[in-house]
Amino acid sequence: MKKSLLILLSLAVGFTAQAQKVPLNIIPQPVEIIELSGVFTLNKSSVITFNKAEGRATAEMLAQKISMPTGFSLKVQEGKNGAIQLNINDVPNEKIGKEGYTFESNAKGVNISANTSAGLFYGIQTLVQLLPKEIEGKELAKTAWTIPAVKITDYPRFAWRGVMFDVSRNFFSKEDVKKYIDQLARMKYNTFHWHLTDDEGWRIEIKSLPKLTQVGAFRVPRSGHFGDRAIPKEGEAATEGGFYTHEDIKEVVRYAQERNVTIVPEIDVPGHSMAAIAAYPELSCNKNPKTFVNPGASIADWYGNGTFKVLYENTLNPSDEKVYEFLDKVFTEVAALFPNQYIHVGGDECYKGFWAADEGCQELMRKLKIHHVEDLQGYFMNRLEKILKAKGKKLIGWDEILEGGISPEATVMSWRGIKGGIEAAKLGHDVVMTPTTFAYIDYNQGDNTVDPPIYAGLRVSKSYSFEPVPDGVEAKYILGGQANLWTEQIPNLRYAEYMSYPRVWALADVYWSPKASKNWENFSKRMEAQFDRADLAQVNYSRAVYDAIVKTTLKNNKLSLELGSELSDLDIYYSIDDTMPDNFSTKYSKIVELPEGAITLRVITYRKDKPIGHLITLKRAELEKRATKQ
């Protein structure tokens, strides 16, 4: 009888331990993770300890994060005996480097160890993701606050893990910027590239040049699609915009530093300078006093081969010494506000037509014995690099800075695909890979009939497939990668979140996790778990991953339909008979030859007999328009 009871008891214990195991949906995926038996249960008496003073801020941040949904005011103190221990290693662990950590949890508690406070910070991000999803909520939640027993060794693949945020096309308050930085830090991003100036607005106070913000930070109000808006009328007041004061900048920089995020400011020159020229017309070739801050009008004609012509001057004059005096003033103040080593100088999409027509520029070319106006950009960038070096800063710019020559010390950000990055790396430049094809998160995530259309599309699965180190390139030159969020069509933080996630989560895996761990099926499950957490955190995200992918081909005047999805467990239903499809409609299983006539395709996805994706509706003309010819 006793033996039978013991057997039943052991079976019950085994069943409980097994039942307590939950999927470990951590993003980014840790390097090594071993699941153990049991759980640690957090309670109001749990204590967080740190063994060295530099761990205190991280411990307090963790206590604050936990307090709202749990209702626990956890004590934070120096020592080594807390239920949650945050320890800086006395002897550095070479394997985990500066940003890595080890994590061990069992029934007694949690121990996170790292070589630096940055490693501890990333360790607590993992701890939070191991807690129940209710930890993300804004209200008190009743649940068992358990952490599964695991052993983790984790460290990043790349040193540069960044996201660029454009605040020129649309202005975002400092509180919005801080909130966005906080979200990035939780995914172990360490670089925030802050695009502060462009044709549509100058967003940083320069005390020695007050008109940059008095004039350059504001534009006439306009609504409608970016690129289709009207230019300012004569005498129309510029009332829309904003800028960051020096104190604002310092506050955001401190906030980012507390979360181990480095801010790289961008002052985009010599092109994309319309807002600066509106403030100081004398900086341009034509010196037009009617230059305006662009409200989102079309200011250039773009041609199919990638070339373009700018209709309203937006380029600084490289032959005018006053331009370099201006830049010295700007970068003196920028360098003082941002303590990191890099300043981004743009250098992209610089139209040379105004230079070609300017006598001063032609005289400079004769003096320099150069024959191509494009080489003036190399001259400009080399002058600019000397200004930055004098202030103890390193130049980084978009891949166009390679045109006309740049010093080997300059760092190149490859955006026009990976070609510029490959070229730069082979020349010995450090490179950050951020190609449009994988990392431009202002592009549509799903079908253009669902999301507002913009330049191109980029699905989360494509972002996840990105490999930042191209074949044939020495990995030592690839600092890492970055996602870029241009905000032409993004007017507020809620929509910035929608465009960022889940692609920023996918790229977090790309930039942090080992290349060998990449697995779309595994990531997609972790991504969906993050959807639930984002809902509780009131963070917006796109659900385009649940939508059908519609492709058509045209062969011998016959139109064929191919449907697919990014997730493997979705069922796709469609109709072409002017009925609304559901899970009793035709289920897609193979390529369909569509009948002739004015049909309308309607497609929807289901999971386990429940609708999950958007309804996609396409008339025949649209199906033909998107068809590939065979």
Q: List active site positions.
A: 349
Beta strands in 460-591 (DSSP E): 478-485, 549-555, 558-564, 571-575, 586-587
Question: Do 157 and 515 meet the contact criterion of CB atoms below 8 Å apart?
Answer: yes
Give the rounded distance of the alpha carbon of 464 from its chain centre. 13
Q: What are the beta bridge partners of residue 48?
A: 76, 84
Q: How many CB atoms lie within 10 A of CB 406?
A: 24
Backbone angles phi, psi at 358, to 5 degrees: -100, 130
> 397 with 412: CB under 8 angstroms?
yes
State the Cα–Cα distance between residues 124 and 197, nearest whole angstrom.
Answer: 35
| DSSP assignment letter at 134 | G
Which residue do the tokens 């385009």 mark? 544
8 burial type by CB count under 10 A (0-12 exposed, 13-18 middle, 19+ buried): exposed
On the CB side of 32, CA atoms within 13 Å amount to 10
CB atoms within 10 A of CB 367: 9
Q: Give the integer Cα–Cα distance in Å for 597 and 481.
A: 48
| All residues at 6 or more sequence positions from 444 whose CB lies less than 8 Å from its CB, including other chains | 451, 452, 453, 454, 456, 457, 458, 544
The amino acid occupying position 441 is I
User: Tokens representing 154?
Assistant: 């984790």
Which residues, other chains included, contact 577 with Cβ-Cβ below 8 Å and sequence gap of 6+?
A: none
Residue with tokens 């160890």: 113
Specify the 3-state DSSP secondary structure of 365: helix
Give strand ranges (E) for 89-170. Answer: 101-106, 109-114, 146-154, 160-166
